[in-house]
Amino acid sequence: MTKMRVAPALALLLLSMSLLTSNPFPATNNGGLALAAGGITLQGTGATFPAPLYQRWFAEYNKLHSDVQINYQALGSGAGIKQFQQGLVDFGASDAAMTDEEISQVKNGGVILLPMTAGSVVLAYNLPGGPSELKLSREAYVGIFLGKITMWNDSTIAKSNPGAAMPNAKITVVTRSDGSGTTFVFTSHLTAISEAWKSGPGAGKSVNFPVGVAGKGNPGVTALVKQTPGAIGYVEYGYAKQIGIPMATLENKSGKFVAVTLESEKAALASVQLPSDLRAWITDPADPNAYPIVTYTWILAHKKYSDAKIAETLKSVLNYGLTQGQGFSVDLGYIPLPASVVSEVGKAVDGIS
């Protein structure tokens, strides 16, 4: 199906300051580590999913060390990986950890993948006249994104919302137009829970959705959902939270309907152990209290940089994010990393030279 694209200007108009992720924000140095004297600029590109948190880190860091600037362009995970591979930036960011094949295309400096934060993908919706709490079974939300469920009063949706008056309104599915880690996370979950999805669109940073209109980045999807009655789309939790769009309560693996809360997110994270390469996917957590779509998101760094100042500055910024920076997570809609994960990622950061 041909998808419509939302104009970037529209997304920027409708989103608040913290969500303007297509623009670079200045950033700053780790408050606890010494840096070489002299001004320095780090360039980064990548995921929109963690961008509000990263930009907050960078802005707070700059308040502590005005000689360091960090320009982060939130262009999507696909762009982050590509520009990092091409050596156009000092670091990338992706909600889909680089594959071995993608890593092999980085010719100089090697690669370290650093899970710096975690968050949830939610199904944000705009349903005038709908119930105050919308519950979606796995059958329902897979069916919606497959284009098999097209009306909000479909019996598959209604049976999970007994007593609620579901509007006789058409469903407008909103997806991503760009290469997206958020898309990778969402479609990996759908692949894990649905044979029809697995044998159909499948999982990836860009997939051929059977239905829908498309927005660029998490901001674009959020803007389209907000302005379109009857719409539903997948976005990072913080985007929906910041502008107050309703989010569906989803059925998890145990058959329990679970809303996004810090407790349900932590239950999902606890279901997976990070391996030595720090790449782990939580496609369908088994904990009965877990929200079903939770993910780590990674910063892509080189093991070795040709410029020692770049290396030391980046290490300092990353250590800030792992320590003081975690304190901003909850307010912006992210999950503070468990102490054990902070420790392991910190060891990896120390290996950058």
What's the CATH code of the domain at 164?
A: 3.40.190.10
Residue 179 lies in a domain: yes
- Identify whether residues 300 and 338 lie together within a single domain: yes
27 and 159 co-located in one domain: no
114 in the same domain as 55: yes
Last residue of a domain, one of 269, 285, 303: 269
Predicted confidence at residue 38, as pLDDT, reads 56
Do 179 and 103 share a structural domain? no
Residue 276 inside a domain? The answer is: no
pLDDT reported for residue 15: 40
Buried b / exposed e over 142-158, threshold 16 CB at 10 Å, is bbbbbeebeebebebbe
pLDDT at 245: 96
pLDDT of residue 108: 87
Please say whether the beta carbons of 210 and 1 come within 8 A. Answer: yes
Q: How many CB atoms neighbour CB 172 within 10 A?
A: 19
Q: What share of the chain is helix, strand, coil (3-state, %, to 5)?
A: 35, 20, 45
Q: Which helix (H) or strand (E) holds 218?
A: helix 217-227
286 occurs within a structural domain:
no
Is residue 62 included in any domain, yes or no? Answer: yes
125 shares a domain with 263: yes
Q: Is residue 48 part of a domain?
A: yes
Nearest-CA neighbor of 299 among 118, 107, 36, 38? Answer: 118
Alpha-carbon distance of 338 to 334, in angstroms, equals: 12
Domain identity same for 133 and 265: yes
Q: What is the pLDDT of residue 107?
A: 83
Give the chain's domain count. 2
If asked whether residues 134 and 74 sit together in one domain, one would say no
Burial of 164 (0-12, 13-18, 19+ CB in 10 A): middle
Q: Are residues 44 and 135 in the same domain?
A: no
Last residue of a domain, one of 202, 236, 269: 269
- Whether residue 131 sits in one domain with residue 93: no
Which residue among 269, 285, 313 closes a domain? 269
Domain presence at residue 244: yes
Residue 84 covered by a domain: yes
What sign for the dihedral angle of Cα 42, 47, 52, 57? negative
280 belongs to a structural domain: no
Among candidate residues 94, 86, 87, the one with its CA nearest the CA of residue 51: 94
**15: nearest Cα among 226, 232, 259:** 226
Same domain, 335 and 207: no
How do beta strands 249-251 and 257-258 pair?
Answer: antiparallel
pLDDT in tens, the chain (353 residues): 434 444 443 333 344 333 333 333 333 333 333 344 458 999 999 999 999 999 999 999 999 999 999 999 999 999 999 999 999 999 999 999 999 999 999 988 999 999 999 999 999 999 999 998 999 999 999 999 999 999 999 999 999 999 999 999 999 999 999 999 999 999 999 999 999 999 999 999 999 999 999 999 999 999 999 999 999 999 999 999 999 999 999 999 999 999 999 999 999 999 899 999 999 999 999 999 999 999 999 999 999 999 999 999 999 999 999 999 999 999 999 999 999 999 999 999 999 99
Residues 143, 238: one domain? Answer: yes
125, 261: one domain = yes
> What local confidence, expressed as pLDDT, does residue 22 receive?
35
Q: Which domain holds residue 319?
A: 14-118+294-350
